[in-house]
């Protein structure tokens, strides 16, 4: 019998500039050392922090960009099973409706860059982001979708749709 895995709750925040380019962070620390990803982080569960509050906090901590919960659109919730065989994740994906005006300064977590959606395909990004996260963003960023992803090591990532809001 295998040991149970921890379950972590986190947010990712998709920020864009006025030109529609995505703000990504080149991570300077494991687990995503040397690869680009949206900003985000874990909820302060001991404080009872909501996913929206976490997204506001993480955006400010990582970029210095002060937003409110009203600036955010929750477009996806993903339950990732056995990510890298180490942890289960419940991820809340947000799109910020307010554009970022400038590239944030480097932080201990890494350095920032703006990229077109096409350019992101050429960057070193996590394979789960390439296979699932960015396609989910492309398809559902203006709606809401709930998904579950089986990320068991040695298997292709399988994503199953659990609920979706109807198109307007």
- What is the domain count for the chain? 1
Q: How confident is the model at residue 163 (pLDDT cuts 50, 70, 90)?
A: confident
Domain that holds residue 69: 6-164
Instruction: Express each pLDDT in 70-118 by its tens digit.
Output: 999 999 999 988 777 788 889 999 999 999 999 999 999 999 999 999 9
Cα 138 to Cα 122: distance, rounded to the nearest angstrom: 16
User: Does some domain include residue 146?
Assistant: yes
User: How confident is the model over 111-158, as pLDDT tens digits?
Assistant: 999 999 999 999 999 887 888 889 999 999 999 999 998 877 788 878
Structural domain contains residue 114: yes
Q: Is residue 1 part of a domain?
A: no
Is 126 a domain residue? yes
Residue 1 has pLDDT above 60, yes or no: no
Domain CATH for 98: 3.90.79.10
Q: With a cut of 80, say whether residue 3 has pLDDT above it.
A: no
Q: Determine, yes or no, domain membership for 104.
A: yes
């Amino acid at each position: 019998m295998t040991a149970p895995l921890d379950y972590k709750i986190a947010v990712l925040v998709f920020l864009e500039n006025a030109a529609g380019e995505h703000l990504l962070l080149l991570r300077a620390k494991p687990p995503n050392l040397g690869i680009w990803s949206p900003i985000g982080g874990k909820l302060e569960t001991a404080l009872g922090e909501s996913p929206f509050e976490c997204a506001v906090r993480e955006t400010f901590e990582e970029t210095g960009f002060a937003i409110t919960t009203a600036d955010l659109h929750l477009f996806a919730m993903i339950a990732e099973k056995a990510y890298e065989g180490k942890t289960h994740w419940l991820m809340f994906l947000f799109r910020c409706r307010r554009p970022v005006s400038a590239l944030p300064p480097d932080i201990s977590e890494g350095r920032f860059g703006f990229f077109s959606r096409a350019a992101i395909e050429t960057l070193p990004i996590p394979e789960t982001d390439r296979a699932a996260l960015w396609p989910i963003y492309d398809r559902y960023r203006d709606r809401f979708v709930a998904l579950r992803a089986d990320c068991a090591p040695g298997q292709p990532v399988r994503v199953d749709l659990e609920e979706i809001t109807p198109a307007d």
